[in-house]
Structure 1
Amino acid sequence: MFEQLKPKRLMWKIWVLILLIIVTLALMILLTVRSSIAQFIDEQVYETLQDVDYYLGNTNQLENIPQNPIEYDRRQQESRSVNQLIFLPNGRIIYGSAPLELTNRMYREAIEQTSEIAKYQTTIDGEDVYYIIRQNEYDGTLIYQASYAWDAYRRELVSTLFWRISILIGVISLLSLIPALWMSRELTKPIVEMERAVEKISNRQWETVLPLAREDELGQLARSIDAMRLELQEQDLAQQALLQNISHDLKTPIMVIRGYAQSIGDGIYPTGDLRGSAEVIDEEASRLEKKVVDLLYVTKLEYFKGQEMRLEPINLDKLMELLVARFKLRGDLEWAVTGHAGEMLGDGEQIRVAFENVLDNALRYAQSSIRIHLNRTDAGVEIVIANDGPPVDENLDLFHQFSRGKQGKFGLGLFIVQRIVTLHHGEVTLGNTADGVAVRFRFPHSKTVQISNSDE
């Protein structure tokens, strides 16, 4: 039930918070003012009692004041509001009079008093009375001199001041709620706008405009969301193009396989014989398998992103030797491997896949030769795979997930390469050379390698 009463909108939460602050401050001020007023009046009463007690007990001092008529008149007025009672240790009153209950209380406290002068306060029949008791000597005899005054107006004064201050603070608090409500609306207005904008963006309404004309933290948040919107818009367009083109690339081998299979079932061999037709089916199936494997491997890399990598020492020289021996069987090209890179720490399967994808591209576009150079420096290891194929458009980001390759086809091979190298805190670049195209890998010397969380 209580949870249902909680305000759900931020504007009301801010308004309630400000209201609680105002109420808390008002209560603290009222309590402080009330106690301060009471304490101040008490101090003033005791100060008056002490002054009158002193001057009444020293009449020669009072007689020396007439030269200051104002001070003399003030003392006279104070002395009229203060009563005195003088009694002996045996309880006999030798001067003044007071109610019996007050007299008995003064006598008990005077007997127990250890200091020369002490202050007291008590209530008799609902009336407050303040008094001080002084120990004196008269003709060698100990006497007690009590000066007391009834508080006829203290409670009424404190209550009156308290309620007037309470009314004033209440009015100020009510008036403060209006700017508090306005401020809460102003604070939450851009947040509400961003909420609506984000909701539209989630529905792929990429033209949504956010409140960017602010220089505070909300403006920075709006600009970050707008940058995300633009990136999502670009990703969405590229993904749509990818799905269209990848579906076409997948559809083509499937159509060829089905067409050849139906022809063979009808006793027709498109290539002239069964063996040739079976080879075409196998080749198209391999193409289809390669695209599916790439898609699954991208998903695998994204799944393991942010998790700890399985590290092992990788002999780069031996790995490259095995890969070259295998790729030599797939084409009649000249291969040249030079230099040494030694070992590095990493995921052996991922490094192998990265080199395989680059070698597969080199084998596809090379005209006569593929050159591989391995090198180890103080900064790390470097592997260059070059071929004498046609140049590439260096203005395109061929390592992007949705980049379009040669002949307008979409491929994930280079994106997988870039992702693997990034996870190993390395760097990979692709560029034209004087006699072809080269892909350059750089891996740092690192004893520990962990998965990167970046989405580069």
Structure 2
Amino acid sequence: MKKLKNRPLATQIWIIFTLVIIIVFVLLSVYFSLTIRSFFTNEIYKTIETAQEKLIQKSTGGYDLNEEENTATVSNDIRAVKHMRLNYNKSEANIVKIQKIIPDNIEAESFLKKLKKQVKSQTNTTQRYVQSTSSGRILYVMRATGINKKGNFEISYMWDTYRNSLYTSLIGRLFSVMIIALIICLIGAKYMAQKLVLPLRELQGRVKKIGIRQWHESIDIDRNDEIGELSKSIEDMRKELVKQDEYEQTMLQKTSHDLKTPLMVIRSYAHAVEDGIYPKGDLKSTMKVIDYETQKMQKRVNGLLYLTKIKYMSKYKNEFKKTNIKDLAEGIIESFFYNNKGIKFEIEIEDIKVIGDEEQWTVVFENIIENGLRYAKTLIRINIYEDDKQQYISIYNDGEKIPDDRLENIFWAFNKGNEGNFGLGLDIVKRIVSMYNGSIKAQNEDSGVSFIVIIMK
């Protein structure tokens, strides 16, 4: 089996098919051989019994056979049913009759003794027997009449040669047909093995292309079996890889663009200061601009690092403790309570615990609230509650509604609104919530927008 596993799949399938077909062929050969031999034996006996019965019906009170005429043609006509009448007490006359078919005297005497024992022990009027002789096998039916079974008894017989001739002829033809069928089956098995492996080879070629990042050609194998399911899974994987590649390319482009602007500002201001020029009028104001741009870059880099961290953590199953969301939320809200826009907070929080890391839930609240502060006009309302199956976090702001075409992709990375910074905050929120088997959605209200987080208990 180990050697078989190292062979091509088509060869493995063909070998298995071949072994199964050969085993079936051998079993059928044995079965047909035994069945056909038994069938012909039974038919020969039926022929003998029918011939004997017809002879008895034609006779009127006994019949006298011309033994010399009948036995003279025994060796020439293997299909003829022969008859002879023997007497239980006339051994010499019986031997003479038996020697017509069994010439050897000793063998004839032995057969006669056997016949006498058989007729004596026979319980039915007729009984089937077989005798092996030097000349061949004799199939015979013995008819015994009389209460004491010491009178005459009739024997009707045929040589086994006829049965063997029929058996050999039929079994030879049957084996010829079976061998032809076996060859056809082996060829068919070879074809089917190649046919089954063909889509797998196609998938192998596609997967190799995906391995070298040539994944823009779709995989479409029109099958509804396991191979079709495998191709669909590979196609889903390909789409996800393409999506991930596009995401990485977009992230690289966006990051390069977002870092390029502050770097240009910092460099130009630094060169100006070096030349004794202060774009903001004095050194202190000019350095504040450089510091501000540096902070923007730092915040951008920190966001990217945290996003990478979340991606890494989401790949592994971790055992998280439960966090008291009420204490956490109230502490975060307090830090935003006195904001420069004069936004009011309304909170209604149940004392519940959610599964997850406290630091990550802090990021979730901070990012959503910061996003709300950028768009809210006067109010941010926070509700946290639960039912029998789920826990809910709803953060509402009374800012402008989100266009319907952006509701679905608002959580994509680098998707910034008019007041957005880098477009990473809500992407990080979604990844954290998803890591805890939760979901988040943005929902337009009558006068504002709600971000709703749903967590399974």
TM-score by length of 1: 0.72
1:418 maps onto 2:430 in alignment: yes
Following TM superposition, by how much is the alpha carbon of 1:232 offset from its aligned partner in structure 2, in angstroms?
3.0
Unaligned runs of 5+ in 2: 64-76, 100-107
Give the whole-Å Cα distance in 1 for the aligned partners of 2:414 and 2:265: 26
- Residue 337 of structure 1 contacts residue 372 of structure 1 at CA under 8 Å; is this kept in 2? yes
Following TM superposition, by how much is the alpha carbon of 1:255 offset from its aligned partner in structure 2, in angstroms?
9.5
Percent identity over paired residues = 25
Q: Which residue of 2 aligns with 1:404?
A: 415
Q: Which residue of 2 aligns with 1:387?
A: 397
1:153 alignment partner, SS class = helix
The 5-angstrom pairing of residues 147-226 of structure 1 reads: 147-178=156-187, 180-212=189-221, 214=222, 216-217=224-225, 222=231, 225-226=234-235
1:84 alignment partner, SS class = strand
Give the whole-Å Cα distance in 1 for the aligned partners of 2:401 and 2:50: 108
1:8 maps onto 2:8 in alignment: yes
* Match among 119, 123, 128 for residue 119 of structure 1: 128
Q: Deviations over 1:408-435 (max 9, x none)?
A: 8654432332244345554422245565
CA RMSD of aligned residues (A): 4.7
1:46 maps onto 2:55 in alignment: no
Give the whole-Å Cα distance in 2 for the aligned partners of 1:113 and 1:127: 24
Following TM superposition, by how much is the alpha carbon of 1:55 offset from its aligned partner in structure 2, in angstroms?
4.8
Q: Deviations over 1:319-340 (max 9, x none)?
A: 3212212333675643322334
Following TM superposition, by how much is the alpha carbon of 1:131 offset from its aligned partner in structure 2, in angstroms?
2.3
Following TM superposition, by how much is the alpha carbon of 1:166 offset from its aligned partner in structure 2, in angstroms?
1.7
Following TM superposition, by how much is the alpha carbon of 1:94 offset from its aligned partner in structure 2, in angstroms?
5.8
Per mean C-alpha deviation after superposition, the further-off stretch among 434-443 and 277-286 is: 277-286
For 1:421, give the aligned amino acid: V
Q: How many residues align?
A: 426
**Structure 2 vs 1, CA of residues 187 and 276 (structure 1 numbering), >3 Å: closer, same or farther?**
closer
Give the whole-Å Cα distance in 2 for the aligned partners of 1:128 and 1:169: 29
TM-score by length of 2: 0.72
**Structure 2 vs 1, CA of residues 443 and 227 (structure 1 numbering), >3 Å: closer, same or farther?**
closer
Following TM superposition, by how much is the alpha carbon of 1:299 offset from its aligned partner in structure 2, in angstroms?
1.7
Q: Deviations over 1:259-313 (max 9, x none)?
A: 999999xxx9964699998898677545533432332123212322xx6x5463x
- Residue 78 of structure 2 contacts residue 162 of structure 2 at CA under 8 Å; is this kept in 1? no
**Structure 2 vs 1, CA of residues 62 and 53 (structure 1 numbering), >3 Å: closer, same or farther?**
farther
Per mean C-alpha deviation after superposition, the further-off stretch among 155-164 and 366-375 is: 366-375
Give the whole-Å Cα distance in 2 for the aligned partners of 1:421 and 1:188: 43
The 5-angstrom pairing of residues 341-352 of structure 1 reads: 341-347=350-356, 349=358, 350-352=360-362
Per mean C-alpha deviation after superposition, the further-off stretch among 254-263 and 321-330 is: 254-263
Q: Which residue of 2 aligns with 1:452?
A: none
The 5-angstrom pairing of residues 27-426 of structure 1 reads: 27-56=26-55, 60=59, 81-84=81-84, 86-88=86-88, 92=91, 95=94, 96-98=97-99, 99-113=108-122, 116-125=125-134, 127-137=136-146, 141=150, 145-178=154-187, 180-212=189-221, 214=222, 216-217=224-225, 222=231, 225-226=234-235, 228-246=237-255, 271=284, 285=298, 288-304=301-317, 309-310=319-320, 312=322, 315-328=324-337, 333-347=342-356, 349=358, 350-363=360-373, 366=376, 369-374=379-384, 380-388=390-398, 392-396=402-406, 397-398=408-409, 400-406=411-417, 410-422=422-434, 424=436, 426=438
**Structure 2 vs 1, CA of residues 243 and 139 (structure 1 numbering), >3 Å: closer, same or farther?**
closer
Following TM superposition, by how much is the alpha carbon of 1:8 offset from its aligned partner in structure 2, in angstroms?
0.6
Q: Which residue of 1 aligns with 2:103?
A: none
- Residue 80 of structure 2 contacts residue 158 of structure 2 at CA under 8 Å; is this kept in 1? no
Give the whole-Å Cα distance in 2 for the aligned partners of 1:109 and 1:261: 129
Give the whole-Å Cα distance in 1 for the aligned partners of 2:286 and 2:224: 75
2:213 alignment partner, SS class = coil
- Residue 78 of structure 2 contacts residue 159 of structure 2 at CA under 8 Å; is this kept in 1? no
Unaligned runs of 5+ in 1: 65-76, 447-456
Following TM superposition, by how much is the alpha carbon of 1:439 offset from its aligned partner in structure 2, in angstroms?
1.5
- Residue 300 of structure 2 contacts residue 422 of structure 2 at CA under 8 Å; is this kept in 1? no
**Structure 2 vs 1, CA of residues 132 and 287 (structure 1 numbering), >3 Å: closer, same or farther?**
same
Give the whole-Å Cα distance in 2 for the aligned partners of 1:141 and 1:373: 116
Give the whole-Å Cα distance in 2 for the aligned partners of 1:253 and 1:200: 40
